[in-house]
A and B are shown apart, each in its own frame.
Chain A
């Protein structure tokens, strides 16, 4: 494989944003995701190849480590930063339609709950996995999910809740969504949840880990 793409994948995995960024220490003074992506485009590597064969590979790698418990939240956040730096350069290609994303994904923390760190990580992993993510933020009411679904009718929906008390909002929201669009797939996540719970409220699946979730979604389409 192309050495440049390989290097770029490493920058994503390790969270090397650009030349200036001091982390990780052993990559100090080297080019980061920002520079390498720019160069890859200049070398006329197709944007799609950059995305699929480099950025997503890097993201997948940290994701795997995170899943095993060997990487932690800060590792994910910094990888996502590097990913963002790369995406800036790829944006025109998405807008022109030259590169197609996997699909739309609406995400939000349910009504009554403001915990959003877990949700943000899921967003980053999804973006890194080639999805167009619409993040509705926290304390998102059922109506808001439904209204957004009207704009993105083919979107998948993901909800997050961290409180035993707000978990119940997921049931309300799932019902509201399924009522207007029975075919829409709704997924749930957050520390206090379980597959059992997901089944009970009529959602389409619970995922404790964003990485597994992205793999699942890619297969689902």
Chain B
């Protein structure tokens, strides 16, 4: 029968293959003929490809085919990875081996180029994102470092072009490969000459462009002889391997996306025109050339590398890996327990991938996987979610949302990943073909030879020829659910791995905790140590000395500045103030603050020393913090934090109440939280031979009920009663904790239905019950608890502010952790923001939101009613991060609730706001809070100098409670009265009145 054959040669960075493709009865068949390794060679500190070797292997493959009696061989097509190139001289000699894209000569080159031509301008023309190895930068580096080679260079040929030249003797540049160079204009598909001129690059070395699907010429005579392949055309295919792979996507519908899945993931869509705009730029999408005049709009994100590296690690440990059991186990693991951002730089090249995953989970307050199945689940789920994230962004840029995702390439065989991806995206996933690149290569050859009419016809043939597996969504994860389950994932933004790769890492050791962490050079010390419970009494101004740390080795930036301050504050020379330090080299620190309990007024808590140790636990709705305290001196000997495992039932307390309203849910919540705290306790005690005496737990009323196992139904609706409002003591036995019998565990009693022992602890830490002046304690968290009083009378209320100040319910909101924009200011028309951890911004936390609202109002971008002026719907802050109109409205609701609550309490006391001499702000994110902005925006209607940030008052109070014997608090509680705001007539009026900002803000200095 009629059968025609084509030879597809696919070079990859790790290996190359020669594949024979046959088209028979309208079907395509593949056969691998030759496979070889590809590797870099290193000479004089530079990394190259060994071109001669690669070409020899190519010829070997061709010979193998020539030696058979296969007839009717129509063509050869070459595809390779992008960007790399060789230079040939006038005689057609290759001047040197091509540099490999990983070569370091392009370090720092991007910046130099941007100094000449702005980044935006380059993107607008080329549509290509910024990777330091784009040909443009490689060439610029060559001009800079090795201009002599360019003098002799006649033409530049990309890798496939070089092979084509050696096979057919024609100097041409194939369009799709040329498009990866960042030297091509994405719209008119010609060399971007202007850019070359601006950068003084040699224009004459650019060859003419040939479109894929065109014949280049016959094999050179000597090659014909050598390979016994006569009358064979060398054909320009989608010479960039991804272009070939996309050509082979067996799509039949309109709104589809592709994912070329391997070590990396390339995810995108095929469009007629490039998509180049503000959003595509921010989202870091690239536009590369496709076959048949199409455009490949795509993004490069992490792929199965993480899994490959994990398996490698298991194999090293001599563990037998059976893939079926591995994925089978993974399937059984409970979903969404561990979510990582696959594009986090820590996964790029860690010595131990499993450890990198552990660290990430720990850092983000998640449980740490232990079983192989858990790791696999973690990796695959995270990849699927990242795909969802990318597809959502694509949907943002195109008129019709994606309806089906085609996965091609080796990774498509991972059925579990296919399924997860379908679930995450909520659209069907079609997996296969695996060999998309080779198939696309053959397809374009067949088109060039007129055997197949066009790509769409070819795709029908491919669909018939190769197996595809379709996964339908089993369970669509809705945005809301996702937020509930893994709040932090949504705020994981596209990390630009390459950019981060160049940032230097520094090691920081914290004593007496014995913790070692890695941070990016230049990170403020404050960003790091606050996670370990360090407070900054003066709010990071550098004048109180409360956050001093002792240097055991290394130093922080600007020792002179510190020496001066040390002198002023009377500190020894080895001390540094954490709040104004930047880490610039490896250091070891000792944190004196962990050696005493600091109270609101920066004084030390005095206590009667006891023997043994205690553990104080702040059981928050989202986060758990536990500190091990030496009861003989009050020193903190260890800190552990983790995420409240109940978050899987919802992030806010009402969804916890909901879940706990039936017997099963109540049991489940109780079991989870008890287990989690037990884990923290065990970690704190690990390897320490000490005598633990007691554990004191504080938390809000719902947490109290769920831990103790009380019915939460009375808390679910009006009139909101508690089922039990006592301190509850447990033996470790009853909790199922394998600890010494005589250890006492106490969950401290709540004050009212929505005022828990965390607030009671806060009252103790603030010592307002001992003070004759009026003091207020404000928790800017979701429940917005406010306490106002003195030693005679204390009133408290819960204003239900909502989670805006914690960064939740905010479009790009996140908690105050690495990657969050934590403060914003403006100067000469520019916004300046600080990102926690000195990284790319990934989102914004409460303090950043507060600052930006203030800045935008003062710059007349938002009016005092809170509306964004000029019909805009959002305002950019830094990086890709913005706030929306709705975010500002959320902020206004929260702010108004706090102010109204405070006003009502002070009215009830028959006093004025001005009588409050001290206002303490509780909560961890307070560290970054700008108090001037807080008062300017009217969040607290008191004078700025009266406000103090007190940090985690619940934990401070819990530590104090370790020294108590009686947990009934009769003395204090008889002064405390709870005010029900829902019963208050005036609430609504004040609440509404306080939603707008005060006109005076416009005249306040910035």
Contact at B992–A73, with CB atoms within 8 Å?
yes
Measured CA separation A139–B655 after assembly (Å): 20
Partner-binding segment picked from A64-72, A125-133, A199-207 = A64-72
A33 within 8 A of B: no
Contact at A114–B982, with CB atoms within 8 Å?
yes
Measured CA separation A166–B865 after assembly (Å): 31
Q: Which of B718, B866, B982, B993 interacts with A72 by CB under 8 Å?
A: B866
Please report which residues of chain B, range 224-247, place their CB below 8 angstroms from some CB of chain A when the two chains form the complex: none
Measured CA separation A165–B714 after assembly (Å): 11
Minimum CB–CB distance from B581 to chain A (whole Å) comes to 42
B465 within 8 A of A: no
B707 within 8 A of A: no
A112 within 8 A of B: yes
- Residues of B near A113 (CB, < 8 A) are 717-718
Measured CA separation A113–B718 after assembly (Å): 6
- Residues of B near A117 (CB, < 8 A) are 988, 991-992
Partner-binding segment picked from B69-77, B154-162, B285-293, B885-893 = B885-893
Contact at B718–A69, with CB atoms within 8 Å?
no
- Residues of B near A139 (CB, < 8 A) are 718
A97 within 8 A of B: no
- Residues of A near B992 (CB, < 8 A) are 73-74, 77, 117
Please report which residues of chain B, range 631-671, place their CB below 8 angstroms from some CB of chain A when the two chains form the complex: 650, 652, 654-655, 657-658, 661
Contact at A74–B865, with CB atoms within 8 Å?
yes
- Residues of B near A77 (CB, < 8 A) are 992
B389 within 8 A of A: no
Q: Which of B480, B717, B886, B889 interacts with A163 by CB under 8 Å?
A: B717
Contact at B982–A69, with CB atoms within 8 Å?
no
- Residues of B near A169 (CB, < 8 A) are 717
Contact residue range for chain A?
Answer: 20 to 34
Contact at B718–A114, with CB atoms within 8 Å?
yes
Contact at A72–B867, with CB atoms within 8 Å?
yes
- Residues of B near A71 (CB, < 8 A) are 865, 867
Chain A residue nearest to B867 in the complex (CB): A70
Q: Mark B846-889, 1 if CB is under 8 A from A, else 0.
A: 00000000000000000001111000010000000000011001
Measured CA separation A113–B654 after assembly (Å): 13
- Residues of A near B996 (CB, < 8 A) are 72, 74
- Residues of A near B885 (CB, < 8 A) are 68-70
A177 within 8 A of B: no
Minimum CB–CB distance from A188 to chain B (whole Å) comes to 17
Q: Which of B867, B886, B995 interacts with A73 by CB under 8 Å?
A: B995
B716 within 8 A of A: yes
A43 within 8 A of B: no
A111 within 8 A of B: yes
Contact at A72–B995, with CB atoms within 8 Å?
yes
Measured CA separation A158–B873 after assembly (Å): 30
Minimum CB–CB distance from B983 to chain A (whole Å) comes to 8
Minimum CB–CB distance from A136 to chain B (whole Å) comes to 15
Q: Mark B785-806, 1 if CB is under 8 A from A, else 0.
A: 0000000000000000000000
Q: Mark A117-142, 1 if CB is under 8 A from B, else 0.
A: 10010000000000000000001000
Q: Which of A68, A74, A166 interacts with B717 by CB under 8 Å?
A: A166
Chain A residue nearest to B982 in the complex (CB): A114
Measured CA separation A166–B868 after assembly (Å): 34
Measured CA separation A117–B865 after assembly (Å): 18
Measured CA separation A111–B719 after assembly (Å): 10
- Residues of A near B889 (CB, < 8 A) are 69, 72
- Residues of B near A35 (CB, < 8 A) are none
Measured CA separation A194–B866 after assembly (Å): 26
A75 within 8 A of B: yes
- Assuming A69-B867, A117-B988, is B657 touching A165 (CB within 8 A)? yes
A164 within 8 A of B: yes
Q: Which of B652, B865, B886 interacts with A75 by CB under 8 Å?
A: B865
Measured CA separation A17–B608 after assembly (Å): 65
Please report which residues of chain A, range 10-44, place their CB below 8 angstroms from some CB of chain B when the two chains form the complex: none
- Residues of A near B866 (CB, < 8 A) are 72
Measured CA separation A151–B996 after assembly (Å): 40
Measured CA separation A69–B888 after assembly (Å): 10
Please report which residues of chain A, range 29-64, place their CB below 8 angstroms from some CB of chain B when the two chains form the complex: none
Minimum CB–CB distance from B474 to chain A (whole Å) comes to 18
Q: Which of A69, A74, A114, A116 interacts with B993 by CB under 8 Å?
A: A74
- Residues of A near B868 (CB, < 8 A) are 69-70
- Residues of B near A72 (CB, < 8 A) are 865-867, 889, 892, 995-996
Minimum CB–CB distance from B732 to chain A (whole Å) comes to 33
Contact at B717–A111, with CB atoms within 8 Å?
yes
- Residues of B near A73 (CB, < 8 A) are 992, 995
Measured CA separation A75–B996 after assembly (Å): 10
Chain A residue nearest to B718 in the complex (CB): A112
Minimum CB–CB distance from B701 to chain A (whole Å) comes to 14
Minimum CB–CB distance from A131 to chain B (whole Å) comes to 22
- Assuming A112-B716, A117-B988, is B867 touching A164 (CB within 8 A)? no
- Residues of A near B661 (CB, < 8 A) are 165
- Residues of A near B716 (CB, < 8 A) are 112, 163, 165-166
- Residues of A near B988 (CB, < 8 A) are 116-117, 120
Chain A residue nearest to B987 in the complex (CB): A117
Minimum CB–CB distance from A120 to chain B (whole Å) comes to 8
Chain B residue nearest to A116 in the complex (CB): B988
Measured CA separation A165–B996 after assembly (Å): 30
Measured CA separation A71–B654 after assembly (Å): 29
Residue picked from A68, A77, A163, A169, most chain B C-beta under 10 Å: A163
Minimum CB–CB distance from A41 to chain B (whole Å) comes to 31
Contact at B867–A74, with CB atoms within 8 Å?
no
- Residues of A near B982 (CB, < 8 A) are 114-115
Interface residues of A (CB under 8 A from B): 68-75, 77, 111-117, 120, 139, 163-166, 169, 194
What are 11 contact pairs spanning A and B, CB under 8 A? A68-B885, A69-B868, A70-B885, A72-B865, A74-B993, A74-B996, A75-B865, A113-B717, A114-B982, A115-B982, A165-B661
Contacts A69-B885, A71-B865, A164-B654 supplied; 9 other A-B pairs, CB < 8 Å:
A69-B889, A71-B867, A72-B866, A72-B995, A75-B865, A120-B988, A163-B717, A164-B655, A165-B654
Q: Which 4 A-B pairs have the closest CB atoms?
A: A112-B717, A165-B716, A69-B885, A114-B982
